[in-house]
């Protein structure tokens, strides 16, 4: 996918009617943890809350949200094949959190979704086999501020194509995430 197509796709998604019903926006910075992939990740995401408590336990519940993301991988790898990669993803995220948000409300989350990449490698030693990737993450963080409008968290994310096409070397990211809840 060319850079122009990726930017146009992101703009159309932002202008769609569903974008006006957003429940949150987040910004992420991440870095790969592989010795043969030196990649910085920059990502913006939009969230739509399920507004449903799947399981309740006292003041805690399991709920979730849909997350749509658009990112750029700044590639600084040795023997790199591309300077950067664009990444578009859609992920359902399950979050275990307090039902009544206090001044500091911790949470844990888990998500498994899909991503489309503009290129299928970052270096000659790190190849993904296909532009279609599964993205799974585990994370933890805390909501704070008036009615929990702010959120800071950590995510560990793995992307790979689950063996659909070889090579399937995948990539992992440690991420710091800042979110604003509308």
CATH number, domain containing residue 35: 2.40.160.20
Q: What is the pLDDT of residue 106?
A: 97
Measured CA distances, 21 to 51, 145, 163 (Å): 13, 22, 36
Residue 15 confidence (pLDDT) above 70: no
* Cα 22 versus chain centre, distance: 16
Tokens 């957003």 correspond to what residue?
22
- pTM for the full model? 0.87
How many folded domains does the chain comprise? 1
- The model's pLDDT over 22-48, given as tens digits with 9 standing for 90+, comes to 999 999 999 999 878 899 999 999 999
Say how far apart CA 159 and CA 147 lie, in whole Å: 33
Tokens 């799974």 correspond to what residue?
136
Look at strands 60-75 and 39-49 and give their pairing: antiparallel
Q: What is the span of the domain harbouring residue 67?
A: 3-181
> Nearest CA to 180 among 145, 151, 154?
151
**Angle at the Cα of 23 (from 86 to 21), degrees rounded to 5?**
90
3 state DSSP class of 130: coil
């Amino acid at each position: 996918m060319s850079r122009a197509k990726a930017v146009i796709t992101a703009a159309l998604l932002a202008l769609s009617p569903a974008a006006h019903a957003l429940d949150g926006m987040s910004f992420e910075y991440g870095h790969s943890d592989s010795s043969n992939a030196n990649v910085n990740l920059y990502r913006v995401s939009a969230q739509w809350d399920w507004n449903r408590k799947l399981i309740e336990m006292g003041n805690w519940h399991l709920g979730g949200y849909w997350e749509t993301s658009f990112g750029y991988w700044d590639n600084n790898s040795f023997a790199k094949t591309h300077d950067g990669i664009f990444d578009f993803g859609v992920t359902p995220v399950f979050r275990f959190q307090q039902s009544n948000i206090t001044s500091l409300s911790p949470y844990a989350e888990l998500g498994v979704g899909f991503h489309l990449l503009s290129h299928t490698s970052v270096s000659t030693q790190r190849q993904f086999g296909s532009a279609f990737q599964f993205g799974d993450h585990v994370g933890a963080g805390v909501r704070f501020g008036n009615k929990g409008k702010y959120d800071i968290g950590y995510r560990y994310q793995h992307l790979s194509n689950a063996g659909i096409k070889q090579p399937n070397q995948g990539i992992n990211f440690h991420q710091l995430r800042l979110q604003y809840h509308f």
